[in-house]
Amino acid sequence: MAETQRTARLEIDGKTLDLPIYSPTAGPDVIDIRNLYSEGNVFTYDPGFTSTAACDSSITFIDGARGELLHRGYPIDQLAEKSHYLEVCYLLLYGKLPNADQIEDFENRVTTHTMLHEQMVNFFRGFRRDAHPMAIMVGVVGAMSAFYHDSTDINDPWQREVASIRLIAKMPTIAAWAYKYSTGQPFVYPRNDLDYASNFLRMCFSVPTEDYQVNPILSRAMDRIFILHADHEQNASTSTVRLASSSGANPLACIAAGIACLWGPSHGGANQACLEMLEEIGEVDRIPAFITRAKDRNDPFRLMGFGHRVYKNLDPRAKVMKQSADEVLGLLGVEKNKKLQVAKELERIALEDDYFAEKKLFPNVDFYSGVILEAMGFNTSMFTPIFALSRTVGWISQWKEMIEDPAMKIGRPRQLYSGNTRRDYVDVEDR
């Protein structure tokens, strides 16, 4: 961030304030309003933070108008094609692509932390069998803060490192066990000779009576889904993790807060909601009726997997996901999958419709991911947990960046108060 000579001039009741303007390496300039209250006695009003930069970050950049997503400068489509998830984790965490020795060392460190403390099994068993796996993940990840006391001093770089590696390593085990628990099957322990995605698939689908043979095309598709969800700058769940952590709280508990935020259908829960919507539409000839509903302002129905706060062009992740859907369903011999057909036709019709064009609504990452995950054999309830496990590295990279920033402050938004002004308490008999 470079301070320019330019300032933004603001006049309030005859008083003039000159506010510095900063130029980022990419994206719109930013006006520094930190002294606005002390010098001008006013706040800014920005519900939903549509125009507010809450932090200075060098991890991820999105150009919403062009439909571009960069991690540490590298385009997401190149990473999805040429890299693999743990390499992307390294890139997000440490800011550069690793050399051969560095990635080998990193993979070894992640691999040796994949097991959970055996006592944690009791936490899983405390949940009802029909609990949503996201509910289990919020609870179990939060509970981790009671197990790993040697990595909670956020001011110690080594402890921060251990907490980061533990989270990346254990999240697939937690997500897979949440799934196994909901299906009534025994937990499958991680196997360290498998790569990250294959190990996760095996923990989800292997049973004691029959080992799961991991298909390399499916594990590649799984790995790509992990990459496409790894980070997305200051989205709602990441901002939640930053805000929770800004008080100096336990990092594992803060990640549980991120998982809770991700669960909502406007955010990570959209992949489950999208597949349910495709199921509800059912047939291609029913699409126009749903498009009409999505356009009706009096109907709360929205096309799930469509629209994005930042992208006003095609989400670049959706492009890769659509390709993956064709590959995976082709491999599984289900090219004629009804939901994929409905999804493609829905996308085509919506993109030709003036309403979606005017509002710049395009398919987002969640539009095709559910179709792939379902074809792989996952229940819809597992879609958001898979998003959560993929996004964990983004949350911790952003957390680490925030803790290491000397300018870090506790997050404390202001408000536009519209309640009662001071009034005196009235005794109950006089009300």
- Residue of 211, 366, 405, 424 with catalytic role: 366
Q: Which of 223, 347, 366, 374 binds ligand ACO (CB under 6 A)?
A: 366
Q: Which of 230, 255, 281, 294 binds ligand ACO (CB under 6 A)?
A: 294
Which long-range contacts link 291-294 to residues 24+ away (Cβ below 8 Å)?
291/346, 291/349, 291/350, 291/353, 294/350, 294/355
CB 62 → ligand ACO: shortest distance, Å? Answer: 12
Residue 305 found at the interface with ligand ACO (CB under 6 A):
yes
CB 90 → ligand ACO: shortest distance, Å? Answer: 23
Q: Which is nearer to ligand ACO, 133 or 370 (CB)?
A: 370
Cα–Cα distance, 61 to 92 (Å, whole number): 12
Q: Which stretch binds ligand ACO (CB under 6 A): 162-170, 283-291, 304-312, 335-343?
A: 304-312
Amino acid, single-letter form, for residue 34: R
Site string for ligand ACO, 213-252 (x = CB under 6 A): ----------------------------------------
Spell out the residues 6+ positions from residue 49 whose beta carbon is closer than 8 angstroms to its own: 234, 239
CB 294 → ligand ACO: shortest distance, Å? Answer: 4
Q: Which stretch binds ligand ACO (CB under 6 A): 7-15, 37-45, 211-219, 363-371?
A: 363-371
Cα–Cα distance, 107 to 197 (Å, whole number): 12
CB 205 → ligand ACO: shortest distance, Å? Answer: 25
Q: Which of 254, 303, 328, 396 binds ligand ACO (CB under 6 A)?
A: 303
Cα–Cα distance, 344 to 28 (Å, whole number): 34
Q: Which stretch binds ligand ACO (CB under 6 A): 4-12, 16-24, 261-269, 413-421?
A: 261-269
Is residue 308 part of the annotated active site? The answer reads yes
Residue 267 found at the interface with ligand ACO (CB under 6 A):
yes
In this structure, are residues 241 and 258 in contact, taking their beta carbons and an 8 Å threshold?
A: yes
Is residue 427 part of the annotated active site? The answer reads no
The 3-class secondary structure across 23-89, one letter per residue, is ECCCCCCEECCCCHHHHHCCCCCCHHHCCCCCCCCCCEEEECCCCEEEECCEEHHHHHHHCCHHHHH
Residue 365 found at the interface with ligand ACO (CB under 6 A):
yes
Cα–Cα distance, 201 to 179 (Å, whole number): 11
- Residue of 231, 232, 308, 315 with catalytic role: 308
Residue 302 found at the interface with ligand ACO (CB under 6 A):
yes
CB 302 → ligand ACO: shortest distance, Å? Answer: 4
Q: Which is nearer to ligand ACO, 120 or 304 (CB)?
A: 304
Q: Which stretch binds ligand ACO (CB under 6 A): 246-254, 305-313, 340-348, 417-425?
A: 305-313
C-alpha neighbours within 13 Å on the C-beta side of residue 303? 30
**Nearest-CB residue for ligand ACO:** 307
* Site residues (CB under 6 A) for ligand ACO, limited to 107-166: none
Transcribe 109-173 into DSSP letters. Answer: HHHTT-SPPGGGHHHHHTS-TTS-HHHHHHHHHHHHTTT-GGG--TT-HHHHHHHHHHHHHHHHH
Closest CA relative to residue 236, chosen from 373, 133, 387: 387
Residue 190 found at the interface with ligand ACO (CB under 6 A):
no
CB 275 → ligand ACO: shortest distance, Å? Answer: 12
Cα–Cα distance, 60 to 337 (Å, whole number): 35
Cα–Cα distance, 304 to 266 (Å, whole number): 8
For 286-309, b where at least 16 C-beta lie within 10 A, e where not — what string?
Answer: ebeebbeebbeeeeeebbbbbbbe
Count of residues interacting with ligand ACO (CB under 6 A)? 19
Q: Which stretch binds ligand ACO (CB under 6 A): 183-191, 195-203, 307-315, 404-412?
A: 307-315
In this structure, are residues 373 and 271 in contact, taking their beta carbons and an 8 Å threshold?
A: yes
Q: Which is nearer to ligand ACO, 106 or 367 (CB)?
A: 367
CB 355 → ligand ACO: shortest distance, Å? Answer: 7
Amino acid, single-letter form, for residue 236: A
CB 374 → ligand ACO: shortest distance, Å? Answer: 17
Cα–Cα distance, 213 to 194 (Å, whole number): 11
Q: Which is nearer to ligand ACO, 123 or 263 (CB)?
A: 263
Cα–Cα distance, 368 to 225 (Å, whole number): 10
Q: Which of 91, 241, 270, 328 binds ligand ACO (CB under 6 A)?
A: 270
Angle between helices 157-183 and 251-262 (to 10 degrees): 40
Catalytic residue ranges: 308, 366
Residues that bind ligand ACO (CB under 6 A): 266-268, 270, 294, 297, 302-309, 359, 361, 364-366
